[in-house]
């Protein structure tokens, strides 16, 4: 008992001085948050009067992000004196919770009359008050003190006769204020007389005047340790500002406590007549943080609560946001099962290979190149014999391999040289040769055994190699008649200057290379105009031609101007 007195006395001078200075001062702005989150103000909630209330404290702490719940708050039943004396089982559970941590606080609301909520009329309440002031109920409170000391909670905060300025409870003050104050003093002295006690008594009226101004019920500084106030969101006062500034309101409460050198508390506060009001919750919490009470506990059941009552979601959020600590506390928060993050399968973009269209390899046609023997073959130069009146003896063709093909004129290829037409060989049956005209000399005809190169086909440049045994006439218009003067057939084309003359010497196998013309080609014989001799080759069939050889029929006409016959 002396220990709390010494502690209160040590702070009396400072608090009284501060209270005097604050009296009549302007109201503090509740928006000014001095303490911030996670302050050392003891906070709690009324969750249930018995063991369920104790079991819910850790859950509330986790819901607040690990904020420590330091205040356990419950009520003794006021229907019978047995309950007021503490003969209830749940006190043991609360005592065990309190002893678990040194900084915890156990707050116990104690009625001052039985049938406390029985709507007893004022005249009967007045008689009960007078009886209490005379000491008729001291032993009930002495038994309670002994019970608490025995349970190990001698420092319990006793909220005695709460809300005495109202009309709800039988222990109200208005029927007889003076005897009520005397009754309070007897109860406190009876409980402090119990050895081992360290109780703190909390004088906690309703906010506002209610039935009587609560200052008229104040019993005195020697029997009060804390001046509390129960404040719900209801009248008087249309908003929180009026709750602060009204007579017997929040500001008056703070000023009165300072004037008497007492600490303040808010044993009950919460929502009520205005429903879900987050603005009230925010303002009340800021006010609490600003005024630094010894403790505060919210009444957490409907319609007042914010955690167990689901009817006030916005106020619930405001309460939680304001009290969540700045840093994580030692309490592990309620585990939140995270939604499994199913990784989005990375579907690789199919790499479609660009079809490699092979470039068609068109084979370059290989033009056969003539095989030029090394050293380069010597192209024989045709020997043009000088004109001679002597007609060479005709050489009979060999009957062994006569040419099966009639000597039809072959059109010369532009790339193959055209041989010089050969003079006709005279036949034995023909008349005597006539001297050649001196104006048109004709070169000597090479031996008929010389094979003439066949014109190469348009496909390849290589000439066809004739058989050396087959004598082929070179001239496209061969006439084998015993004409002394060889006259070229008018149908035979005149070789161009670029065409080389046939070789004079026979060669059994001509070179595959086309012979190059002589740089000095022989002068071609001009064609004879109006020839007097016409020859026609005779064909006796394949078998007879082989025996007789190639024969021609020649007719000579003399149709000169002197002959008297000129058909043209």
φ/ψ bin of 372: left (φ > 0), alpha (ψ from -120 to 50), beta (otherwise): beta
Per-residue tokens: 119: 């709507």
CB atoms near residue 387 (< 10 Å): 12
Residue 109 · residue 74 · CB < 8 Å = yes
Compute the chain's Rg from CA coordinates.
Answer: 74
CA–CA dist 409, 165 (Å, integer): 155
Q: Per the structure block, which two tokens stand in for 472? A: 């082929």
| DSSP SS3 for 396 | coil
Q: What pLDDT was estimated at residue 76?
A: 98
Q: Which 8-state DSSP code applies to residue 221? A: G
Look at the pTM and tell me if it is higher than 0.85.
Answer: no
| Model pLDDT, residue 492 | 42
Distance CA 536, CA 554 (A): 6
Domain positions in the chain = 2-323
Instruction: Say how far apart CA 454 and CA 462 lie, in whole Å.
Output: 10
pLDDT tens, the chain, 568 aa long: 333 333 333 444 344 344 444 443 334 444 444 334 446 899 999 999 999 999 999 999 999 999 999 999 999 999 999 999 999 999 999 999 999 999 999 999 999 999 999 999 999 999 999 999 999 999 999 999 999 999 999 999 999 999 999 999 999 999 999 999 999 999 999 999 999 999 999 999 999 999 999 999 999 999 999 999 999 999 998 999 999 999 999 999 999 999 999 999 999 999 999 999 999 999 999 999 999 999 999 999 999 999 999 999 999 999 999 998 765 545 566 666 666 666 666 666 666 666 666 666 666 656 556 555 454 544 445 554 444 444 444 444 444 444 444 444 334 344 434 443 444 434 444 444 444 444 444 444 444 444 444 444 444 444 444 444 444 444 444 444 444 444 444 444 444 444 444 444 444 444 444 444 444 444 444 545 455 666 777 776 777 777 777 777 776 665 555 555 445 4
Q: Any residues with CB less than 8 A from the CB of 118 and at least 6 apart, and which?
A: 79, 170
d(CA 61, CA 70): 10
CA distance 231 to 243: 9
- Give the pLDDT score at 517: 45
Residue with tokens 């002068």: 523
Structure tokens at 9: 């006395």
Return the SS3 of 270. strand
Amino acid 90: pLDDT:
97
Q: What is the CATH number of domain 2-323?
A: 3.20.20.80
For 232, the enclosing helix (H) or strand (E) is: strand 231-232
**Which of 239, 231, 189, 238 has its CA nearest to residue 214?**
231
CA distance 541 to 81: 167
The helix (run of H) or strand (run of E) holding residue 398 is none
Look up residue 509 and give its two tokens.
């196998």
Instruction: Provide the pairing of β-strand 533-538 with 269-270.
Output: unpaired
Neighbours of 490 (CB within 10 A): 12
Give the pLDDT of residue 535: 73
CA 14 to mean position of chain CA atoms: 67
Contact status, residue 223 vs residue 254, Cβ threshold 8 Å: no
Give the C-alpha separation, 164 to 125, whole Å. 12
Whole-angstrom distance, CA of residue 317 vs CA of residue 202: 30
Q: Please report which helix (H) or strand (E) contains residue 226, including its range.
A: strand 226-228
Q: Which residue has the tokens 């506990």?
A: 297
């Amino acid at each position: 008992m002396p220990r709390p007195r010494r502690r209160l006395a040590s702070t009396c001078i400072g608090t009284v001085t501060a209270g005097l200075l604050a009296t009549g001062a302007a109201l503090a702005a509740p928006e000014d948050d001095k303490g911030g989150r996670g302050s050392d103000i003891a906070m709690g909630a009324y969750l249930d009067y018995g063991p369920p209330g104790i079991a819910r404290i850790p859950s509330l702490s986790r819901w607040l992000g690990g904020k420590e719940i330091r205040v356990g708050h419950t009520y003794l039943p006021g229907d019978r004196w047995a309950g007021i004396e503490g003969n209830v089982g749940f006190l043991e559970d609360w005592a065990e919770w309190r002893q678990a941590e040194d900084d915890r606080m156990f707050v116990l609301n104690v009625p001052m009359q039985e049938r406390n909520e029985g709507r007893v009329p004022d005249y009967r309440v007045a008689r009960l008050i007078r009886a209490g002031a005379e000491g008729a109920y001291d032993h009930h409170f002495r038994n309670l003190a002994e019970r608490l000391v025995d349970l190990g909670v001698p420092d319990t905060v006793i909220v005695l006769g709460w809300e005495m300025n109202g009309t709800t409870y039988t222990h109200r003050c208005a029927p007889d204020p003076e005897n009520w104050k005397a009754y309070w003093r007897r109860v406190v002295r009876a409980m402090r007389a119990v050895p081992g006690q360290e109780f703190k008594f909390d004088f906690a009226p309703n906010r506002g005047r209610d039935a009587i101004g609560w200052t008229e019920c104040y019993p005195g500084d020697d029997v009060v340790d804390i001046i509390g106030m129960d404040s719900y969101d209801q009248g008087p006062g249309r908003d929180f500002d009026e709750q602060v500034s009204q007579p017997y309101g929040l500001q008056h409460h703070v000023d009165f406590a300072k004037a008497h050198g007492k600490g303040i508390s808010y044993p009950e506060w919460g929502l009520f007549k205005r429903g879900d009001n987050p603005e009230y919750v925010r303002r009340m919490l800021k006010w609490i943080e600003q005024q630094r009470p010894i403790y505060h506990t919210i009444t957490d059941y409907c319609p007042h609560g914010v955690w167990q009552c689901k009817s006030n979601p916005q106020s619930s959020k405001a309460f939680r946001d304001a009290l969540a600590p700045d840093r994580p506390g030692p309490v592990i928060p309620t585990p939140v099962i995270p939604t499994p993050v199913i990784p989005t399968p990375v579907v690789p973009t199919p790499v479609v290979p660009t079809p490699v269209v092979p470039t068609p390899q068109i084979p370059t046609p290989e033009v056969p190149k003539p095989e030029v023997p090394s050293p380069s073959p010597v192209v024989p130069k045709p020997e043009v014999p000088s004109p001679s009146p002597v007609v060479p003896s005709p050489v009979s063709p060999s009957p062994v391999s006569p040419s099966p093909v009639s000597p039809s004129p072959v059109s010369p290829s532009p790339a193959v040289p055209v041989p010089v037409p050969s003079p006709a060989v005279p036949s034995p049956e023909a008349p005597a040769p006539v001297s050649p005209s001196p104006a048109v000399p004709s070169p000597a005809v090479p031996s008929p055994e010389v094979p003439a190169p066949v014109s190469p086909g348009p496909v390849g440049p290589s000439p066809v190699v004739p058989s050396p045994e087959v004598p082929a006439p070179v001239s496209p218009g061969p006439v084998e008649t015993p004409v002394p003067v060889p006259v070229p057939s008018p149908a035979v084309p005149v070789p161009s200057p670029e065409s080389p003359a046939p070789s004079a010497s026979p060669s059994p196998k001509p070179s595959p290379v086309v012979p190059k013309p002589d740089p000095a080609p022989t002068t071609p014989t001009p064609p004879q105009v109006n020839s007097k001799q016409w020859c026609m080759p005779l064909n006796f069939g394949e078998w007879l031609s082989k025996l007789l050889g190639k024969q021609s029929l020649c007719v000579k006409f003399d149709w000169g101007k002197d002959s008297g016959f000129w058909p043209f």
